[in-house]
Structure 1
Amino acid sequence: DLIILLTFIYLVLSYLKRPQDLSKYNCKYVVITGATGGVGKEIVHQMFRSHKIIIIARNQQEIDRLVNLYGNTILAFKFDFSSPLENFASLFTKFLQENEISGDEIGMCFSNAGHGYLHNFDETSFESKQIFMQVNVDSHLMLADYFTKLFVKRKRSAFIVTSSAIINMLMSKYLMYHTAKVALTSLIHALHIEYHGKIDFMAVHPSSISNTKFMANKEMQVSGFLGKNIDKLINELPISVSPRQVVDVMLSRIGKESVCQVGTFAVLVAMLFSLGRNINGAIWAGMTGILALFE
């Protein structure tokens, strides 16, 4: 019985790790948001040889760097997800028309924009929380709305979001980030079920990602020991994963899973969460108390 179980586990893992044939999406263009960040740049790097890429970003300097690096493989649509989202659909549709791109030529969207939020709940204003949720939840909802309506007209498409292993961790200061990622993953999982076999929706849950600008965001500044050593901890701890690892898993799991964990730590915290919210909450409350000693 043990041999049968181990064989089954091996076959499942082999299937999940097997590279996907992205040609099944039969598209000329892919859309990538958050393309100027660590994971976004890696998606661009791995996709540019096989597809033309439309990046959506707000930093013109970073946009120019990508365009200069990859040449006419990349088209850039400048948009800030903290601005009114109701303007996106008309502006992006106009952008496609100006570049003579038909909707059916786009078959994949990587919704990768967002930032962290490291504060106790009482430390920030309601307006600050609203802006954070707009960028980290509403923008993905808006993109899902736009591209689902586009993709239902095609035979097969994919919509992938970068969520986080934080959905299975309940830590002080991370509660807004946790809430946003839980909402995002729930949305994508539900869409996966509703459009199964036509649109491959997937949420990716990496643990901390090394060599990115994630902790440089003003909303992620912390004091004390952690603040002074956070970059070193993220880049050197074995729980971290690289942008390449995230994208490798992402591209091998599309169409196979609605939710996937990236890294051993992400798998472990997902297993821990399966014990139930009360037990999991007690464990992470204890961890939060320990971390507070280093502030």
Structure 2
Amino acid sequence: MEAKSVLITGATSGIGEALVNRYAKSAMVIACGRNQEKLSKFESSGVSTSRFDMTDKEQVFDAASKIEAQDIIILNAGVCEYIDDANNFNSALFERVIHANLIATGYCLEAFIPKIKSGGQLVIVSSSASFLPLPRAQAYGASKAALSYLTRVMQVELQGIDVTLVHPGFVETPLTNKNDFPMPCLVTVEQASERIYQGVLKRKKEVHFPRRFTLFLKLFSLLPFNWWLPLAKRIKR
């Protein structure tokens, strides 16, 4: 059965924006984000909005207090920054990414889980970067690996709510447009949002795509690390 009400964070760009457009065809959507210009465009098309910064706990709880119970809540917001020189580790960047991708998700879980209807769904968007250690991804990969672990534990422990973990590969978004390296099997945000939509509709425990890329990463994650290490070092160069 398709959801009647959906709340989506990180809705003003990339996958989140595409998810709003996809769900708005059949459900009442609350688009959440910081970009007021984008939120105003959603409002003009009949989509409800909520403006808040996920990294600010007070703003998250204030926003949650103003919404009704939802069938689905999709926690999609996140950032990506790379550490270019491991020998000169950037702890400020590391803290910033961990806070935005992991700690802020914790704020949202506390604030929004009570807003999910019994029998509803929680969806958390992680990354296939969590499967293997990738060059320059000390902050981003660590945050997403922790987010995936967190989601798996929520799948074990949450009662009365289904939980779906999303592991996208490379998706063409404003974040990935900044990447200065090859991105194999790149998909559009429309393709990504449709994969997520269908996976959530089927109440899958995990949605990962594109499969020709994510299955490759999953395979290497099962092999001895020494098999992956030389390949990872070649990617770095």
Asked whether the equivalents of residues 71 and 121 of structure 2 are also in contact (C-alpha less than 8 Å), the reply is yes
Partner of 2:152: 189
Look up the match of 1:257: 204
TM-score by length of 2: 0.88
Aligned partner of 2:101 in structure 1 is: 136
Task: List aligned pairs for 1:1-295, cutoff 5 A.
Answer: 21-23=1-3, 27=4, 29-68=5-44, 71-72=45-46, 74-82=47-55, 84-93=56-65, 95-96=66-67, 103-104=68-69, 106-119=70-83, 120-151=85-116, 154-195=117-158, 198-210=160-172, 212-216=173-177, 227=180, 230=181, 233-234=182-183, 237=184, 239-254=185-200, 256-263=203-210, 264-275=212-223, 279=224, 281-293=225-237
Deviation of 1:122 (Å) = 4.6
Sort the Cα spacing of 1:268 and 1:291 in 2 relative to 1 into closer, same or farther, 3 A: closer
**Residue 203 of structure 1, CA deviation:** 1.2
- The answer for unaligned runs of 5 or more in structure 1 is 1-20, 97-102, 221-226
Cα separation, 1, equivalents of 2:10 and 2:89: 25
* Contact 1:172 1:288 survives alignment (8 Å): yes
What residue is the counterpart of 1:16 in the other structure? none
The answer to whether the Cα contact below 8 Å between 1:111 and 1:162 also exists between their aligned partners in 2 is: yes
Q: 1:122 to 1:75 in 2, by over 3 A?
A: farther
- Could you tell me which amino acid in structure 2 is paired with residue 89 of structure 1? F
> How big is each residue's C-alpha offset from its partner over 1:119-178, in whole Å with a ceiling of 9 and x where there is no partner?
144545433322211111112222122222233xx3311111211111112122112111
The percent identity for this pair of structures is 18
Spell out, residue by residue over 1:248-284, the C-alpha distance to the aligned partner (whole angstroms, 9 max, x if none): 2222222543222211101221122122xxx2x3334
CA distance in 1, matches of 2:14, 2:62: 29
Determine the C-alpha separation between the residues in 2 that align with 1:117 and 1:92: 28
TM-score, length basis structure 1:
0.72
Instruction: Determine the C-alpha separation between the residues in 1 that align with 2:232 and 2:48.
Output: 44
Matches of 1:247 and 1:256, distance apart in 2:
15
Instruction: State the Cα distance separating 1:118 from its structure 2 match.
Output: 1.3
Decide which structure has the larger Cα Rg and report it. Answer: 1
Q: Which has the higher helix share?
A: 1
Name the CA shift for 1:91/1:148 in 2 (closer, same or farther; >3 Å). Answer: closer
Q: How many residues align?
A: 234
